Amino acid sequence: MNNLPKPIFFLLFLLITLSGVQVFAQTDHHLWYNKPAEKWTDALPIGNGRIGAMIFAGVAQDHIQFNEETLWSGQPRNYNKKGASKYLAEIRRLLFEGKQKEAEALAGAEFMGLRSEAGDKNKWVSEMKAGKGINGNPALENYDDKLWRTLQVPSYEGWETVGLTNVDGAVWFRTTFDVPANWAGKDLVLDLNRIRDQDFTYINGQLVGNTDNLEPRKYTIPAKLIKTGKNTIAIQVLNYYDKGGISGYKDTTRHIGVYPVGSNIENGVSLVKKWKYKIQNEEPPATPQYQASYQPFGDLNLYFKNVKSVVSNYKRTLDLTTAITTTTYTLNKVDYKREYFASQPNQAVVIKLSASKPKSISFDAGLSSPHLHSIVKALNNNTISISVQVKDGALKGESRLTALVKNGTLKIVNQKLSISNADEVTLYLTAGTNFVNADDASGNPADANNKALTSLKGKNYNQIKQAHIQEYQGYYKTFDVNFGTSENAKLPTGERLIKFAKTNDAAFMALYMQYGRYLLISSSRPGGQPANLQGIWNDLLSPPWGSKYTTNINMEMNYWPTEMLNLSALNEPLFSKIKALSVKGTETAQDYYNAKGWVLHHNTDLWNGTAPINASNHGIWVTGAAWLSQHLWEHYLYTGDKKFLEEEAYPIMKRSAQFFEDFLIKDPKTGWLISTPSNSPENGGLVAGPTMDHQIIRTLFNNCITASENLGVDDAFRKSLQTKVKQIAPNQIGKYGQLQEWLTDKDDTTNKHRHVSHLWGVYPGD
C-alpha cells in the first residue's frame, strides 16, 4: 500500500541485530503526503482487526472504502472429493517413472478438491443472445447507440481497469472502421486476440465469430460483408467471473485491428480507441470455484459543498503511534481538519471534521457498494444504512453511518446525510455480517451495528479517541528501533521512497518496519480472523488470488514478525485458524491420502477448505499444516508457555507429524523417505521429492521430538520420529554446485522464477 515495497524480512532482521533495540526511542513514526490519493493503492489504511478502511482524503470529495473481515463469497460446504485416495498410488507410480504430464493429468482429473455449484450457463447465454435486458438488436449496423457511453479498448488487465469496476455479465461493444477502396473484394482478418470470456462478434450485422475460451480471436471477414468506407463492428462480450472485456495484447505496441488476409496489422486499420458500450446484464450464472474470495463491503463518500477556490497547505498523515490519519488544508482562509481512526473498543470507523471558522462545514455523506444487490435506506434522522448480499454466496452484511453535528443542520436527502453550516461533525461507521463460524452463516448483521452504536452512547469524541489510542498503543508501544534520523523525513513519503535507493536513509527502514507492525495490528486482533493476503483491505469483487490465505508462504509471512517484534498476542487469530483447519484437514488427510493426522494444501479461505485447488501442477502441496505448526512451536520458544505447548500447540503439531508418518514413502531409486505427490511452490510442476517439503517435515519432526521430551509424553511416537527423520531425503548439491530444488538434479540456471522455495531451510527454517 502507498507503493511501499513488500516486506524484506532478511534485511529487517539484520538491521535489528546490528543496531540494537530501545524501548520506544524518538524515531519517525509518520507517513505523510502533500496530495490526495489518486488510486486505491495510494490511500492510507486504517483498521481495528475487524473493520478496515482506505482513506483517499480528497478535498471536494473524500472516499473511504471499507471492509469487514467476514464478508466473503462462498458458503459452508464440503471441499473434499471422497475416494480420491484410490488414485494416489497410480499418481506416485507415474511420477517415479518420470511421466510428469500423465501424473498431472490424472491428478487434475481425480485428485483436486470439489468446486462450488455452477449456475445454468446455457440458459443465461440463450437469454443474452435473445436480447434479454437490452432494447433492440445492438448487432445491427444501423442500431442507435448515440446514448451509449465510451470505454477504452482493448484493456489487457480487464475492463475493470478502464471503468467497468467489479462488473461481470453481458456487455455490448460497438465501433466503426473505414475500409479503403483498394481492399474491395478481399477477405479481411479481424484480430482481437483474447476476449474474456465469451464473445459473439458481428460485422455489419452478420455474425463472423463466436469463441468461449481464452484462445486468440482472429476472425475472417468475408469480402461480401465489407463495403468501401464505414463498417460497423458489434461484439457481445459475456464475462462470467474475474477480468472481463476485449484484452488485446500485453505488448501495447501490438494493436488489435482489421487487415487483408495475407497482410498484417501494420498494413491495416487499428481498433485501439474508445468504443461505445452498453451493459446488458450483471448477473451471470455462478462460476464453480474451488475456494471463496474476500469481498469489499462498501464505500463512504463525502461530497463537500462550495469547494471552488484553490486549496493550500494540503497534507495527509498517518501517525503510526496513534493509528490516526489526519487530513489538513486551507480553503478560503479557513483551516480544515479531518481525523480518521478505526476504534477497536467501540468497533467503529470514526471521522471527525472541524474548521477554524464556525459554520464552515457543509457536505453530503452517502453509502454505496460494488455488490449488485445492495440497498441504502434511512434508519432515523441522523443514520443511514446499507445492506449487501454477496452474489452466489451465503453471506450478507449491514453497515450504518451515524452523524453528530455541532451547531449546524442535518437532513436526509436522497438517502444521504446532508449537513450544512456546522462547526464540527463526527461520523461513526459500523458494519457486521451474518457469519458465525465456518459452518454457520445464520447470524444477524444488525447485531454488530447495534452493539457498536450502543457502546458509543454517552461518550464524546475525545473519550472515544483516547480509548482507541490506549488500546492500540498496548500493542504498538511494545517495541521500537532507532536507526538515527534522516533529512529525508522532511520529504513526502512517496518522494522519500523514490530517493531511498540512492541515499543513506536507514531511518526509513525503521519507519517501514513500524509500518509493517501497524498493518498487522490493524488487521489481526484476538477474537477475529487472521490477516489475509491483503491484510484486511480489498476493493475488488475478484481480488488477486482471491485475497485468501495462501499457505505456501504468504499466510506465514504475515506473521513472521509477531514474536521478534513483540506482537505475540496478535498470533491468536492465526492459532485459532490453525486449530479449525486441523479439524477440516483431518477429513482431507483421510479422503486423499488414507492417512492419520491432518493436511493442508496451498490455500484456504474463510470456510477452512483444506483440499487441493486450482491445478495439479501447483495445488497439490502437502506441507501447509507442517509449516503453520512451526508458528505454534516458535510461540512456545519465545514465551516458554508450557501450558500453551501442552494444550494447544503440541496436539496440533503431533497430528501433523502423524500425517507424514503415513504419507512419506520410500524412493525406489535412493531408498530415502520422500514427499510425493507434491511440488516446489510454485515451480516445476507435480514431482516426487521437493526439497522444501523435506526441510519442513524434518523441522516438524524435530520440533515434535523436543516438545514430547519437554512434556514427558509419547515415548513411542518420539522414537518413531527419531528413526524416520534420519531417513528423510537430505538436501542435495547439484551439478552447478547449487542446493537442488528437487531430489532430481534438474535446476535450470536460466529459470528466474519468483519463488526460491528450497531456501526455506535458511529462512524461516532453522
* 249-258 pLDDT, tens digit each: 999 999 999 9
Domain of residue 32, residue span: 9-74+292-513
pLDDT surpassing 60 at residue 26 = no
**Taking the mean position of all CA atoms in its chain, how far away is CA 402?**
29
Q: Which of 145-154, 403-412, 655-664, 754-763 has the lowest mean pLDDT?
A: 754-763
pLDDT band at 18 (very low <50, low <70, confident <90, very high): very low
Q: Is 751 exposed, middle or buried (0-12, 13-18, 19+ CB in 10 A)?
A: exposed
Give every CB contact of residue 165 below 8 A, 6+ residues apart in sequence. 370, 540
Strands 480-481, 21-22: parallel, antiparallel or unpaired by DSSP? antiparallel
> Which amino acid is located at 307 in the chain?
V
Q: Are residues 197 and 102 in the same domain?
A: no
Q: Are residues 301 and 413 in the same domain?
A: yes
pLDDT in tens, 185-205: 999 999 999 999 999 999 999
Q: Which of 441-450, 580-589, 749-758 has the lowest mean pLDDT?
A: 749-758
Grid coordinates of 138 = 445492438
CA pair distance 108, 561, nearest whole angstrom: 36
Q: Cis (ω within 30 of 0) for the bond into 668?
A: no
Q: Are residues 338 and 208 in the same domain?
A: no
735 within domain boundaries:
yes
pLDDT surpassing 70 at residue 171 = yes
Give the Cβ contact number of residue 699 at 10 Å. Answer: 22
Average pLDDT over the chain reads: 96
2 within domain boundaries:
no
Grid coordinates of 453 = 452504536
Query: Which stretches of 291-414 are assigned E, i.e. beta strand?
Result: 298-304, 312-319, 324-331, 334-343, 348-355, 361-368, 373-380, 383-389, 396-406, 409-413
pLDDT in tens, 483-537: 999 999 999 999 999 999 999 999 999 999 999 999 999 999 999 999 999 999 9
626 within domain boundaries:
yes
286 within domain boundaries:
no
pLDDT surpassing 80 at residue 4 = no
Q: Are residues 478 and 610 in the same domain?
A: no
pLDDT in tens, 393-428: 999 999 999 999 999 999 999 999 999 999 999 999
Q: Are residues 165 and 238 in the same domain?
A: yes
Residues counted in the chain: 766
Query: Which stretches of 471-522 are assigned E, i.e. beta strand?
Result: 480-481
pLDDT surpassing 70 at residue 135 = yes
Q: Are residues 24 and 137 in the same domain?
A: no
- The 3-state DSSP class for residue 103 equals helix
Q: Are residues 251 and 306 in the same domain?
A: no
| Domain end marker among 249, 281, 313 | 281
What is the structure's pLDDT at 753?
86
Closest CA to 209 of 236, 184, 229: 236
For residues 127-132, give the mean pLDDT: 98
Grid coordinates of 239 = 464475462
The position carrying cell 461507521 is 429
Q: Give the total number of structural domains in the chain.
A: 3
> Which amino acid is located at 598 in the chain?
W
- The 3-state DSSP class for residue 588 equals helix
Q: Are residues 106 and 165 in the same domain?
A: no
**CB-CB contact of 695 with 759 (8 Å):** no
**CB-CB contact of 703 with 653 (8 Å):** yes
pLDDT in tens, 548-567: 999 999 999 999 999 999 99
Q: Cis (ω within 30 of 0) for the bond into 296?
A: no
What is the structure's pLDDT at 15?
41
Give every CB contact of residue 502 below 8 A, 6+ residues apart in sequence. none
Q: Are residues 308 and 241 in the same domain?
A: no
For residues 25-43, give the mean pLDDT: 90
185: left (phi over 0), alpha (psi -120 to 50) or beta: left
Handedness of CA 139, 144, 150, 152 (dihedral sign): positive
CA pair distance 341, 58, nearest whole angstrom: 17
pLDDT surpassing 90 at residue 445 = yes
pLDDT in tens, 105-114: 999 999 999 9
Strands 169-179, 273-281: parallel, antiparallel or unpaired by DSSP? antiparallel
| Domain end marker among 258, 281, 304 | 281
The position carrying cell 451495528 is 449
Grid coordinates of 174 = 460497438
Closest CA to 72 of 604, 614, 610: 604
Q: Are residues 320 and 374 in the same domain?
A: yes
Give the Cβ contact number of residue 31 at 10 Å. Answer: 25
Taking each helix axis from N to C terminus, what angle separates 506-523 and 9-19, rounded to the nearest 10 degrees? 120
614 backbone dihedrals φ, ψ, rounded to 5°: 70, -85
CA pair distance 408, 362, nearest whole angstrom: 9
287 within domain boundaries:
no
What is the structure's pLDDT at 8?
37
347 within domain boundaries:
yes
CA pair distance 382, 404, nearest whole angstrom: 7
pLDDT band at 754 (very low <50, low <70, confident <90, very high): confident
CA pair distance 242, 238, nearest whole angstrom: 12
Grid coordinates of 83 = 475416494
Using alpha carbons, list the distances in angstroms from residue 233 to 164, 169, 209, 513: 20, 20, 12, 53
The DSSP code for 215 is: S
| Domain end marker among 229, 252, 281 | 281
pLDDT surpassing 90 at residue 306 = no
> Which amino acid is located at 124 in the chain?
W
Specify the pTM: 0.94
179 backbone dihedrals φ, ψ, rounded to 5°: -100, 125
Q: Are residues 97 and 131 in the same domain?
A: no
Using alpha carbons, list the distances in angstroms from residue 632 to 191, 386, 642, 766: 55, 40, 12, 15
Q: What CATH number corresponds to the domain at position 502?
A: 2.70.98.50
| Helices and strands per DSSP (H, E), number in the chain | 17, 35
Q: What CATH number corresponds to the domain at position 161?
A: 2.60.120.260
Q: What CATH number corresponds to the domain at position 613?
A: 1.50.10.10
Task: Give the 3-state DSSP-derived string for 53-69, with helices as H, strands as E and coil as C.
Answer: EEECCCCCEEEEEEEEC
The DSSP code for 322 is: T
CA 756-762-766 angle, 5° bins: 140
688 within domain boundaries:
yes
What is the structure's pLDDT at 11?
39
Q: Is 180 exposed, middle or buried (0-12, 13-18, 19+ CB in 10 A)?
A: exposed
For residues 160-168, give the mean pLDDT: 94
As a 3-state breakdown, the chain gives helix, strand, coil percent values, each rounded to 5, of: 30, 30, 40
What is the structure's pLDDT at 308?
85
Q: Are residues 45 and 137 in the same domain?
A: no
pLDDT surpassing 70 at residue 148 = yes
554 within domain boundaries:
no
Give every CB contact of residue 188 below 8 A, 6+ residues apart in sequence. 179, 220, 221, 223, 226, 258, 259, 260, 261
